[in-house]
Structure 1
Amino acid sequence: MTKIRNIELGDFPMLLAPMEDVSDPPFRAVCKDNGADLMYTEFISSEGLIRDAAKSRQKLDIFEYERPIGIQLFGSEIDHMRKSAEIATQVNPDLIDINYGCPVKNVACRGAGAALLQDIPKMVKMTEAVIRATHLPVTVKTRLGWDDATKNVPEVAERLQDIGIAALTIHGRTRVQMYKGVADWTLIGEIKKNPRIHIPIFGNGDIDSPEKALAYKNQYSVDGVMVGRASIGYPWIFREIKHFITTGEKLAPPTLQERVDVCKKHLDFSIRWKGDKTGIFEMRRHYSNYFKGIDHFKPYRMRLVEASTYEEIEAILDEVSEKFMHSVMS
């Protein structure tokens, strides 16, 4: 049984990665339905929370059915991170997560996210401040290091565990790599096997199939895996991985009707949570992913993207159901 302090996550939990502009409550709802064991909010700016910015505040929305759910924070100022942890604690998540892994320029170049991998003493002080600011478990997500010459995550793991973090997720790339190349889990496995390490270690990076999840589980002995990009438009990956690990058999892919139904649920929640205009607009990025592998789908995707009401989109999705019911999807 993998546990983060007193939170039981099962034998080999599947974690949904915090993804900016993706892992909002509507997206998390369909992932939870399909077996995600622990999910995180999109990363939230500590500066935004302190300024009471509407976008940052909205990202604090969590729902009972999502539990266990973590709120992920990022920032470059220790005091601001402490204050934002206090604010996040008030909405009663199950844990607080600190982002020391985001590689994007407007985060890392402002001294937040993966930039802290260049200043381990500051990372330690910031983490200590967050731990002191909340009664909740504090976890961390990070990368191997800033670049190939500074893969310092083994030191990071020991030092952060020593000050009290409750779990660590490691993405198997450096900041310089961004999302390019192949994720290297070698150091993740070494940290898990380090006799000094007793907190759960979760691996992240390139988990895009049940076979890979099982192979990495066996090879690197991690306590669970975090799935990111492979879940976009395909929340079924969580149930497929779980089934394969339990039985050694592959589940059949979702039917077209399942794809349509989940897309409708996602859309409905998106509208209820964000309002008609924003809810419909922000769903546009998901349609091509939900229907990936269907030949000749492009005209329908264009119509879905151009539609401006729920009724229009529902009618197009019903038409897709009818038209492609017997299609074979790759």
Structure 2
Amino acid sequence: MGETIPIAVPRKGRPLESVLDRLAHRLDVTDLADTISSTLRHEKALTKGTIEPANGPDEHVYHRLATYSSVEDPTEPEYTLLRDDRDGKPRRIVFDSVTIPLAGVDGIPGDVSIQLVGREEPFRALRTHEFALGFDSADLVLEEVVELRPDPLESLADINTRIDPSDTHVQVVTGLGDTVYHTLMATPDVSSTGSIDRAFLERYEGPLCIEPRYERLVQAVLGTRVLEGVYFEYPQSGREEEAAIADTGIGVYLTVTGSTAREHGLLLGEQLFPSETVLLESSPEVTDTVERVRSLFAGPDLETELTLEP
């Protein structure tokens, strides 16, 4: 029996789809990737209540789970259930695992396979040495382990320099290019004294609206010196983030086009930091085979914000 390299991946959402897109680009698994992505999008819509189950509202989630999952063939996707954080805490079908043989891939022995394994927080699974490789949002790395310093963290490439090796052996290898930005935004009244950028924040004193989970990230990205005289406010539960920022007057939130922010009367300022799905490795667990598998995901064809010195 050949070697199977487990890789921790998110159970749902944009980061998982980015991993699947990358594999579809490098391997002949487009149908598999599309099946997993479309299944999870369908289940998200069911959980949000925007569509009804095909067999009516009484169709049980366990029936769909059994229909989707294959427990006999590991090369077919398997799913599992989690409690969603929406009202009522509905059960939501999310990705669990699938095994992909790598026979015929240049540079990799023909009996090697990879197994994508769903985890709620893949980065933490690497920190506990469960996996040698994994994918997660760069944000979680910032929120967990980067050192807070007076100077700002300005690029994805700077993350590794702020990870204390005595804290974790996990390092960022590359990004997948699914970039969104933590963007500074403000109302016209607040921003009337100048451009909405880091220099503006150095002069500003008062509340800054952010999501609670991004507190450490914002501190790292802006630097503790800029935040002197600034205190954080958080959106009330269930309130749209851009609406809460408009009430506060200034804040930081993820944007792609910024259209929702503009609908709330906000002006978009400096893109403070790029966020991507990143490939992570736990260096003590890396073997020759893991290095070869890692090459499937890296490469000059990636349009990523992350550039590391060779």
Q: Same fold (TM over 0.5)?
A: no
* Larger strand share, 1 or 2: 2
* Larger helix share, 1 or 2: 1
Q: Which has the higher contact order (CA 8 A, sep 6+)?
A: 2
Q: Which has the larger Rg? A: 2
